């Protein structure tokens, strides 16, 4: 193996160490770097994870539109990636990001997790 | 509808508002309440989400063992649930927890996300 072949093999190792599911996807949690707020959960395929590293901005795989989704390409609410972490069994990635305009959700909310479970006399209710 | 029937219908509403996937599961992110650290990602089915609320401790669905998994029942590393949040499209839940012994990972690590992507001269590498 030549040195450049070796580099090329090593360069793709990090991608093969991810446990892609049967649809070739890995779950990705986006956490705001400075506040620690969990912003959203989405999915990446191999190409989008590679693009995320190259661009330094979160690039997901849209399961509904079945295409690469550079988050914020239309809204401007891009996520600048500060660090990328893999979990113990390789099937979930955590990215720490600077969220442009502090808006991660397509509803305009800061985080997608804006429904809070409250236990009321009538039972549990999801409240904004 | 009698008052108790109404209460019962409302009581199950919160469960039907979750977008269960085709395996009847929802993705769950566990975040440490006081530090903001993202600890792990796992799955719940309807029964385990209900048990989580009842017990006040995280109860997941183990996809590998195909059974209800009361986290920490053997290791003692239970997660006391402080709050439960649903995302905008209902297919991911965020729970904020007090992690007993500060150990969430089966490897003994605080968080499951202990592999950090580092870009080296030989390419990107996941490092502990």
Any chain A CB within 8 A of the CB of B29? Answer: yes
Tell me the average pLDDT of chain A. 93
Is it the case that residue A18 has pLDDT exceeding 70?
yes
Work out the average pLDDT over A82-95: 98
Q: Up-side HSE of residue B118: CA atoms within 13 Å toward CB?
A: 9
Per-position DSSP letters for B11-51, written without gaps between them: HHHHHHTS---TTS-EEEEEEETTT--EEEEEEE-HHHHHH
Number of domains chain A is built from: 1
Cβ contacts (< 8 Å) between A12 and chain B: which residues?
123
Closest by CA to B52, choosing from B5, B85, B10, B7, is B85
Host domain of residue A73: 3-127
Q: Up-side HSE of residue B110: CA atoms within 13 Å toward CB?
A: 10
- Among B53, B113, B123, the residue with its CB nearest the CB of A11 is B123
- Is the pTM higher than 0.90? yes
Q: What is the ipTM of this complex?
A: 0.93
CB contact under 8 A, A94 and B113: yes
CATH number of domain containing B104: 3.10.20.810
pLDDT of the residue at B12: 77
Closest by CA to A43, choosing from A19, A56, A66, A26, is A26
Q: Which of residues 60-99 of B touch A (CB under 8 A)?
A: 83-89, 92, 94
Any chain A CB within 8 A of the CB of B103? Answer: no
């Amino acid at each position: 193996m030549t040195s450049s072949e070796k580099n090329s093999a090593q360069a793709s190792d990090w991608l093969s160490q991810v446990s892609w599911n049967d649809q070739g996807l890995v779950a990705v949690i986006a956490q705001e770097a400075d506040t620690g707020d969990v912003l959203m959960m989405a999915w990446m395929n191999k190409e989008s994870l590679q693009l995320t590293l190259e661009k330094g901005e979160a690039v997901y795989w849209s399961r509904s539109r079945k295409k690469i989704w550079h988050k914020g390409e239309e809204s401007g609410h891009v996520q600048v990636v500060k660090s990328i972490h893999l979990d113990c069994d390789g099937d979930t990635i955590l990215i720490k990001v600077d969220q442009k305009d502090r808006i991660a959700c397509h509803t305009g909310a800061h985080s997608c997790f804006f429904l809070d479970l409250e236990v009321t006399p009538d039972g549990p209710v999801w409240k904004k």
